[in-house]
Structure 1
Amino acid sequence: MTWQEISLLLGIGAVAGILSGFVGVGGGIVIVPSLIYVMGLSQFQAQGTSLFILAMPVVALALFNYAQSGNVQWRFGLIVAAAFVVGGYVGSKLALRLPEAWVKLIFGAIMAYVAFKMLWSGYQGISNHES
């Protein structure tokens, strides 16, 4: 691995970490596209690597800060986490059976939908606040 690759990976990690702590995103939205378009990984390699990264203790540090400030709904989190584990297993099996191009298309469509919903909600919040 070259120093340039290490520098790029450190940059991807720093941006994803800052965004994760700031607005709760990182894995799918920042890391996966960065690994594909900056580092040249396949969709499947980027997804697998992103899942590995998310399993790291970094998540625990961000969780600690939110928990200390009383901003974690533990019961909700435990229920979603249990379903997330099962869903992650099923989703990975399904993704690996589809052509990579389809997985990219589905991934992009989900990101576009979420982006639209967030932008629209933010716009409405600003419009209502200014009225």
Structure 2
Amino acid sequence: MLESPARFGSIFGVACVVGVMSGLFGVGGGVLLVPLLVLLFGFEQHRAQGTSLIALVPPSGLLAFLVYYRAHEVDVQVGLLIIPGVFLGGLLGGKLAARLSPQRMRIVFAALLFVAGSWQVVSAWAK
């Protein structure tokens, strides 16, 4: 997928923006990166999601966590309670994703983003 220096530079630039937004808003970078890989770079939905996981989980998650932890903005007990559910849910989600067609996967992902975004808009204006 990196057949030219321009494409490499474009993907790197998008990754930098996604990293900043992920750290700034505390969202999984995949919420931002997956649609960009699909729309800007022509990735198939499953490949975009898999690429996002390998690229974002270790570096962005760990580094952003450390910044928030140092600022005393982490509830460690709740975080530790969440880990087993995320682990098992991630395993199950990956298996379910493998059964969906790329088109169906993209529709489900778009619906998830729409619902989450709508919820955020409504709750932000309600306060």
Q: CA 1:63–1:81 in structure 2 vs 1: closer, same or farther (change >3 Å)?
A: same
| CA apart distance, 1:61 | 1.6
State the percentage of identical aligned residues: 32
TM-score, with length taken from structure 2: 0.92
Q: How many residues are treated as equivalent by the alignment?
A: 125
Q: CA 1:91–1:33 in structure 2 vs 1: closer, same or farther (change >3 Å)?
A: same
Q: How does 1:13-32 map to 2 (within 5 A)?
A: 13-32=15-34
| CA apart distance, 1:28 | 2.5
| CA apart distance, 1:102 | 1.2
> Is the aligned partner of 1:69 residue 2:71?
yes
Residues 22 and 60 in structure 2, CA contact (< 8 A), matched pair in contact too: no
| Aligned counterparts of 1:85 and 1:53: Cα–Cα separation in 2 | 17
Q: CA 1:26–1:67 in structure 2 vs 1: closer, same or farther (change >3 Å)?
A: same
| Aligned counterparts of 1:28 and 1:107: Cα–Cα separation in 2 | 11
Greater relative contact order: 1 or 2 (C-alpha under 8 angstroms, separation 6 or more)?
2
| CA apart distance, 1:67 | 0.3
TM-score, with length taken from structure 1: 0.89
Q: Name the counterpart of 1:50.
A: 52
What is the aligned-residue RMSD (CA, Å)? 1.2
Other structure's SS at 2:109 match: helix
Decide which structure has the larger Cα Rg and report it. 1
Specify every segment of 5 or more residues in structure 1 that has no aligned partner in the other structure, as ranges.
126-131
Specify every segment of 5 or more residues in structure 2 that has no aligned partner in the other structure, as ranges.
none
Residues 31 and 50 in structure 1, CA contact (< 8 A), matched pair in contact too: yes
